[in-house]
Structure 1
Amino acid sequence: METINYYPSDTTIGGLLFSNYISEEIRRLSVKELTSSQAIDRLGVLVSDSPYDLALRPFDKKNDRCFTCDQGFVACSGHLGHISLVLRVYNPVLRGCCLYCHTIQCSNVEKYLFNMQMLYLKHGQTNEIDNLQSIYKTWILERKSLDTFYENINEHMKLNPPSSTRIEATTKNLLAIRQQLIKDFEARAFKAKKKFCPNCNTPVRTLRADSHSKLFYSQGVSNKQIKAYQERMSNIR
């Protein structure tokens, strides 16, 4: 039988696009709904309706066969399952985001500091992380301009550039430093209570979850907050 080549031999891929499945597509592609959080019971047997359900794929190379396609461990490519959420799930990041400018309630200085510290961490230069933190603390105490902070950070990184060797954070020491950096950033962005957004200077509207079923946010702002906001904006301009 003659084959037809629909694409010329010099055809190349010009781009690649990834997207997410919508809920209806996930349900159509799914072979089973997963309802059990326990994957293996006390006897070591795979639990049905769990992430280790044999309808998704076989897990034993010798004995198991897929309940969906009846193929073995090597031949089965795996099948999709889905989990139906009984209650609504809200991303906790919303508590640290401004509802007006839709950005994280963290100043650009703190974001820049965090990015540069993570850059040093990727190259295993843990001492430079503390040096950047010292520059940040000194800048706060001296209360200098934003340009001074960026100049000090950039000057330090020119004198101490990241090494050409990239190190994955797999050791206990590097993992502990990485977790502490993320924890400190989350504390500044999500846990610290702010009256005004550090990015757009609008009054912050607080969020409150009620029994994982509803999400409430403060309606408007008080007159005192409006007056303080107007004064603050007039000083910036």
Structure 2
Amino acid sequence: MALATEGATNSVEAVAFSFLTDKEILQSSRVKVTDAILVDNLGRPVPNGLYDPAFGPFVDRFPCKTCGLPKDHCSGHFGHIELVATVYNPLMFTILSNILKKTCFSCHHFKANRNEVDKCLSKLKLIMEGNISKAKSLDGIQLDGPLDSGDFDVDDENQCSRPEQPIKNWTSIQFSEAMSVLRMFLLKDYRKCQNCGKVSPKITKPIFGWFHVVKYLFLSLLDSIFRSYNLLTNLRDIFLVFARLY
């Protein structure tokens, strides 16, 4: 039997992926899952469980509780589980690992000096507003703080073409430039924090999804305590030696 061929009526120009905000998740959710039990003793789905009929028909003879369609026509609906603790998205594990390695465990700032952080932030703001040329012009400039687009003199043509508010959908050029700025910022490695001078513990990734902090975290904290109380250098060194031995 010959196969009929038809011309395409639509074409896909671009595909983009993003993360939903908490508000968007709650708006699309139809069930708040609070019960770990799937079905009761009679085999019926437990309300607010993972088999709640609001997700879609559990059996053929009952319609969907949310849209009222039968099983073959219901595409299913979303639900959500409220977590008691903050967790990270596994897709962001690599970038989170890089950020932690560049963060000081003592002052809780980036290990880079304030000028580098302000410059990175200012570049990202300008790129987000579509002013890529001005973002590149910040290289080699010493900043006293993060800059806004209003701190630059721009011509009328660029001022009219640039939106007053940051656009929600970035162009491919904006995305590429922003990733380049972040990549260059995270590539810089500092053994000591450029702000407080402390040394943070080393963070490793033994397996995907797990962080491991080496044992000298205790030594770093102990050293910080000694420094904060201005104890004698010799006394501090003696305590650190004994801590390493035991």
TM-score by length of 1: 0.47
TM-score by length of 2: 0.46
Higher RCO structure, 1 or 2 (CA under 8 Å, sep 6+)? 1
